[in-house]
Amino acid sequence: MAETAIMNEPFLWEGTDRKGKKVKGKSMAATEAAVRADLRRQGVVPTRIRKQRRSLLAGTSKITPGDIAIFSRQLATMLAAGIPLVQAFEIIGSGHENAAMQKLIMAIKADVEGGSALAEALAKHPVYFDDLFVNLVESGEQAGALETLLDKIATYKEKTEAIKKKIKKALTYPAAVLVVAFVVTTILLIFVIPAFEDLFQGFGADLPTFTRMVIDLSVFVRTQGWLLAMGIGAGFFTFFYFKKRSKAMRHFLDRVTLKTPVIGPIMQKASIARYARTLSTMFAAGVPLVEALESVSGATGNIVYEQGVLKMRDEVATGQRLQQSMENTDLFPNMVIQMIAVGEESGSLDDMSAKVADFYEEDVDNAVDNLSSLLEPMIMAILGVLVGGLVVAMYLPIFKMGSVI
Maximum distance among all Cα pairs of the chain, rounded to whole angstroms: 93
Q: How many other C-beta atoms are found inside a 10 Å radius of the C-beta of residue 184?
A: 14
- Residue 82: what pLDDT? 87
Helix (H) or strand (E) holding 21: none
- Residue 28: what pLDDT? 67
Is 204 strand, coil or helix?
coil
Is the alpha carbon torsion for 324, 310, 292, 244 positive or negative? positive
Closest CA to 309 of 322, 373, 122: 322
The CA-atom distances, in angstroms, between 265 and each of 69, 84, 177, 301 are: 26, 45, 23, 14
- Residue 61: what pLDDT? 66
The CA-atom distances, in angstroms, between 229 and each of 139, 225, 270 are: 53, 6, 35
- Residue 56: what pLDDT? 43
Is 308 strand, coil or helix?
helix
Contact 140, 150 (CB under 8 A): yes
Task: State the number of CA atoms in the 13 A half-sphere of 121 facing the CB.
Answer: 20
Q: Looking at this protein, which amino acid is placed at residue 251?
A: H
**What radius of gyration do the chain's Cα atoms show?**
29
The list of the chain residues with pLDDT below 70 reads 1-9, 28-29, 52-61, 202-205, 400-405
> Rounded distance, CA 217 to CA 229, Å?
14
Rounded to two decimals, the pTM is 0.68
- Residue 308: what pLDDT? 92
The DSSP code sequence of 125-151 is -TTTS-HHHHHHHHHHHHHT-HHHHHH
Q: How many other C-beta atoms are found inside a 10 Å radius of the C-beta of residue 84?
A: 10
- Residue 203: what pLDDT? 65
Helix (H) or strand (E) holding 23: strand 22-29
